[in-house]
Amino acid sequence: MRNSGFRYFDTVDRGGAGTPLAVFYAERHPHSPEAAWRARAEAGEILRNGRTAAADEPLAAGDRLEWRRPPWEEPDVPTDWRVVFEDGALLAVDKPAGLPCVPDGGFLENTLVHLVGAARPGVRPVPAHRLGRGTSGIVLFSKTDAARRALAALFRDGTARASGEIEKRYVARTGPRPGARPGDRFEIETPVGPVPHSVLGTVWAASPAGKPARSVCTVRTADPESTLWDVELVTGRPHQIRIHLSSIGSPLLGDPLYLPGGVPRQDALPGDCGYFLRAVSLRFPHPSTGARMVLSVPERR
């Protein structure tokens, strides 16, 4: 589909003062080289303090920059999200694998946030958490400012996860794990943090300098072809399950990014799909009533 374009804003800090506009953009947003930013400026897409700016124009601290990205063709995605629960404060949906949660890269309107917002005009649903593009399952939205604030505080609170006040459970499939038996339990605490990546600069992966992370992974079934896992997230780092299972030598079956040890391939991206990971249940206190909420979806769509 062809979207309606988008406007991106930047403010120049002291470190950017005196830098030519195209150089500033290339340093701030390295997903595009300087030549691409120069071409955008020459096409009149970039404004500086409300007027068209030249590529070689030196910037000043406090300048307000605006890139008016023209409409572009977005990749096709599945759009068959389903309502799991809804009341005046909350909306929970079942996201299909392949649909991004939020705008990123080449995706803007082919995202769960845009599709849900379009289906609830005047409400502005805000996601309380995210799933990776290739991950399916439950995503929880707030529909009011009060619910948004309460859920944001709750999902930031590490003690809420540790105490079981929030519980997120997933099903994951990895390649065969020699010697694995149903009921085998692994408490994985590999730190997760940014590591160098040749395409994006950095990606999240296993890193001794990363943030503390904990997953409880239990073998459900094991055969010569694959291993099916039940996974409970105790912390919520980006791509944590993919990284943690990879870190113990069991990458998700078909995962194009993470290798054994939890390290990334340099020629793949986090949004690349091909694996099976599904968020099947979410337990949390209702932000308005305090009632214990337990939401679930089928393990297969």
Report pLDDT for 157. Answer: 64
- Angle among Cα 47, 28, 10 to the nearest 5 degrees reads 40
Per-residue tokens: 261: 């040890």
Q: Where are the domains of the chain?
A: 6-69, 167-270
CATH class entry, domain 6-69? alpha beta
Pairwise CA distance, residues 54 & 43, whole Å: 10
Report pLDDT for 54. Answer: 97
Report pLDDT for 104. Answer: 82
Q: Over its length of 301 residues, how does the chain's per-residue pLDDT go in tens digits?
A: 899 899 999 999 999 999 999 999 999 998 899 999 999 999 999 999 999 999 999 999 999 999 999 999 999 999 999 999 999 999 999 999 999 999 887 888 999 999 999 999 989 899 999 999 999 999 999 999 999 999 999 888 665 565 678 999 999 999 999 999 999 999 999 999 999 998 888 999 999 999 999 999 999 999 999 999 999 999 989 999 999 999 999 999 999 999 999 999 999 988 899 999 999 999 999 999 999 999 999 998 7
Contact in structure between 22 and 46 (CB atoms under 8 Å)? no
For the domain bounded by 167-270, which CATH number is listed?
Answer: 3.30.2350.10
Instruction: Answer yes or no: pTM beyond 0.75.
Output: yes
Report pLDDT for 159. Answer: 58
Spatial CA neighbour of 176 closest among 231, 229, 227: 227
Contact in structure between 227 and 219 (CB atoms under 8 Å)? yes
DSSP codes of every residue in 110-130: SSHHHHHHHHSTTT--EESS-
Contact in structure between 271 and 258 (CB atoms under 8 Å)? no
